[in-house]
Amino acid sequence: MYTLFGTEGSGSAAIEIALQRCSVPFTLCGASSWEEGPGKEALRRVNPLMQVPTLVLADGTVLTESAAILIHLGLEHPESGLLPDKSAPRAQALRALVYIAANCYAAIGIIDYPQRWLASADDGLERLLEAGARTRLHENWETFADLFGGAGSWRCDAPGAVEILASVVTRWSGTREHLRSTRPDFHARLLEVDAEPVVNAVIRRHWP
Ligand SMILES: N[C@@H](CCC(=O)N[C@@H](CS)C(=O)NCC(=O)O)C(=O)O
Helical residues (DSSP H) of 31-160, grouped into ranges: 38-46, 66-76, 87-99, 106-112, 123-148
Q: Provide the pLDDT for residue 153.
A: 87
Mean pLDDT, range 134-139, rounded to an integer? 98
Question: 74 and 24 in contact (C-beta within 8 Å)?
Answer: no
In the sheet that 26-30 helps form, which strands lie side by side, from edge to edge? Answer: 26-30, 2-6, 54-56, 62-64
pLDDT band, residue 145 (cuts 50/70/90): very high
Residue 123 has pLDDT above 90, yes or no: yes
User: How far is it between the farthest Cα atoms of the chain?
Assistant: 50
- Report the share of the chain in percent with pLDDT over 70: 100
pLDDT band, residue 6 (cuts 50/70/90): very high
Mean pLDDT, range 9-25, rounded to an integer? 98
Q: Provide the pLDDT for residue 29.
A: 98
Mean pLDDT, range 52-69, rounded to an integer? 98
Question: 17 and 201 in contact (C-beta within 8 Å)?
Answer: no
Q: Provide the pLDDT for residue 54.
A: 98
Of 77, 84, 162, nearest to 193 (Cα)? 162
Q: Is 52 in the pocket of ligand 1 (CB under 6 A)?
A: yes
Question: Please, which residues have CB within 8 angstroms of residue 204's CB and are 6 or more apart in sequence?
Answer: none
Mean pLDDT, range 86-97, rounded to an integer? 97
Question: 169 and 180 in contact (C-beta within 8 Å)?
Answer: no
pLDDT band, residue 51 (cuts 50/70/90): very high
CA-proximal residue: ligand 1, atom 16 (nearest) = 51
Q: How far apart are CA 174 and CA 62, in angstroms?
A: 31
pLDDT band, residue 156 (cuts 50/70/90): confident
pLDDT band, residue 157 (cuts 50/70/90): confident
CA-proximal residue: ligand 1, atom 15 (nearest) = 51
Measured in Å, residue 86 CA sits from the centre of ligand 1 at 30
Average pLDDT score, the chain: 97
Q: Is 173 in the pocket of ligand 1 (CB under 6 A)?
A: no
Mean pLDDT, range 101-122, rounded to an integer? 98
Measured in Å, residue 152 CA sits from the centre of ligand 1 at 31
Measured in Å, residue 122 CA sits from the centre of ligand 1 at 23
pLDDT band, residue 187 (cuts 50/70/90): very high
Identity of the residue numbered 170: T
Q: Provide the pLDDT for residue 179.
A: 98
CA distances from 52 to 5, 6, 9 (A): 6, 5, 11
